[in-house]
Amino acid sequence: MPISRSELTFESGGKLIRIDSFVPALNGHRLPAVIGLHGSGGGHGLVADPASLLAEQGFAVYVLHYFDRTGTQSADRQTIFRNFPVWMKTLWDAISFVEKRAEVDPERIALLGFSLGAYLSLSNAAIDSRVRAVVEFFGGLPKEMKIFMRRLCPVLILHGESDETVPVAEAYHLQEVLQRKNMHYEMKIYPGVGHGFNAEVWQDAKRRTLAFLQQHLQG
């Protein structure tokens, strides 16, 4: 399926924010949308791979440059702590931008986040009813969100058992929260795998991601 790729911009907090668009050529159809969020390293290459895959399967995909809001290149723990609420607002504004796109069905929007991007995605999903599903790669739900949580949505949890950056305990904590909320989730813990996936694990993770989003956004 032909994919149209472009760089769009929207405004958040008086700053111009870039968002990479991957849209399949399905003229006249409103598509399910997925917003992708990179990790603390700031690289978008990891997100571009599943973005292309999902676009080929009929999703409109938007990769968010949320670091544009704070002029960040890469983020250490202090930078994350200081900017997390601002990035959350940037993601909220990104959803507002995406849901108004002519090609997007605003009732079918999901988030896909890696590491820091997964924390942001889950935190947003806990307060934003526009988010219908989340795919989270080696991230978690900040424990502080217990105070603010208003809802949740179906979640796919993908985590390495030997992750030393984001311990696998974060995946099990998220699982407990979802079980308490009686919310649908799927989880795959990869034995012996660290923070970031090798080619074989990555292929399995992409297959699970596609199936999960097809189930919850394409029905």
Q: What is the tens place of the pLDDT at every residue in 69-86?
A: 999 999 999 999 999 999
Q: Please state the φ and ψ torsions of residue 95, each to the nearest 5 degrees.
A: -65, -40
Among 18-32, 58-72, 164-178, which is the least confidently predicted range?
A: 18-32
Owning domain of residue 135: 3-218
The reply to whether the predicted model has a pTM over 0.75 is yes
Number of domains present in the structure of the chain? 1
Instruction: Answer yes or no: are the C-beta atoms of 69 and 75 closer than 8 Å.
Output: no
Residue keyed to tokens 């649908």:
184
Residue 206, domain CATH: 3.40.50.1820
Residue 5 scores a pLDDT above 80: yes
Coil, helix or strand at residue 40? coil
Instruction: Answer yes or no: are the C-beta atoms of 12 and 90 closer than 8 Å.
Output: yes
Tell me how far CA of residue 92 lies from CA of 86, 87, 114, 147, in angstroms.
10, 9, 17, 19
Mean pLDDT to the nearest integer, 23-41? 90
Coil, helix or strand at residue 123? helix
Residue 172 in tokens = 């099990």
Tell me how far CA of residue 28 lies from CA of 24, 102, 104, 180, in angstroms.
11, 9, 10, 41
Residues whose CB falls within 8 Å of the CB of residue 144, separated by 6 or more in sequence, listed in order: none
